A and B are shown apart, each in its own frame.
Chain A
């Protein structure tokens, strides 16, 4: 890709930001963007970034547990997408390919990181839930549940975490998850089963210890 006009095309792309849902609705528009970006169109690549950044950032945050690492991971993901976009097979699902890169980047980052507790959200952050809840009690319960799930997911091993996030949160099929993780469907099922069991046990253990009931 040409880098001479990167700054100018970036500015142009920022100016002509399309609504995020537009390419999602129209797969052909996304395919066209990918083809243009692969051919060296910087503005098209900027559009791809704009329309996929939420997914990449969310997935990175779920895998890594904090915003700073998620930012770094997202940058690395888009850098790899830029590098390897020419190798992307247009017949395959772009988002599966994107998630595979994201999962690989997060795995690399987790390997580099020293073992530490993944802090998904603090208690204060957990309390900052959308104002759709009406009573304080409901707010508190919701925050507790969020914190509980956060903690439970944070305790999972990398592969189980990736499987459960892709299957239960991102909504991919077991086969698609297997494809993204470059594994077999049977292995993914085993990982998902183990992850669900661990999350449930964690929730039960915590609720029993605090005397709460579910």
Chain B
């Protein structure tokens, strides 16, 4: 062992904290090295000083005060604990378990319901573009646009994934052929009252040939005039545009 190695072990050697083998090696080195031996003596002296590191003598009043405060705190904490226990006593373990189990069951169901409700809200975007005429007696072919068509549920629905176009962006390619629809009470929220409004749900087939014909009803400003437009199903109906005022 050289001096550097021994110096690292001297703090532990001073307190006899080394293993027997290491202690023997250090002791052997100290016998031959005066410098390390002096350092070891220094450590030993420091350790003795630390060993005498005594706190000041506290009076008996200090200790009595500590004990008194301990009992006071124990009493306070026990009283507080009793209050909690009394509150806790209202809830028997069985009831607590039952409530916990119920919450565990109800909360996922509620979450599922909320998620479903969220999706249903999005279903409002789904619009019936093509609706056949009802098979029942409807000789006039005119239907109240506010009433849903019978047998609609059995017909296939076309989902429009895209968001609805803004009404103020609608424009007519040919003003001469434009039919302006106006429903005073059914204008969409946020749109001006004078805005043309086309009800896409009013597409339907004429009677007798509902499979091959599409039908579009447009209510004009005059409540007595309604424009009904038929188009063959094979052909895509020409886009109906309305221009806002």
Contact = CB atoms under 8 A, between A and B. Distances in A.
B36 interface: no
B178 interface: no
Interface stretch (B73-81, B103-111, B127-135, B145-153): B73-81
Interface residues of A, number: 48
Interface string A1-31: 1010011001000100000000000000000
Interface string B27-63: 0000000000000001101110111111110100011
Contacts of A146: 52-53
A88 to B, nearest CB: 17
Contacts of B56: 61, 67, 121, 125
Interface in A146-185: 146, 148-150, 153, 164-165, 167-169, 174
Contacts of A192: 11-12, 15, 17
B66 A78 contact: yes
B70 interface: yes
A153 B17 CA distance: 19
B15 A168 contact: yes
A35 interface: no
A204 to B, nearest CB: 8
B66 A74 contact: yes
A189 B50 contact: no
B69 interface: yes
A167 B15 contact: yes
Interface of A: 1, 3, 6-7, 10, 14, 46, 49-50, 53-54, 57-58, 61-62, 67, 70-71, 74-75, 78-79, 82, 121, 125, 145-146, 148-150, 153, 164-165, 167-169, 174, 189, 192-194, 196-197, 199-200, 203-204, 214
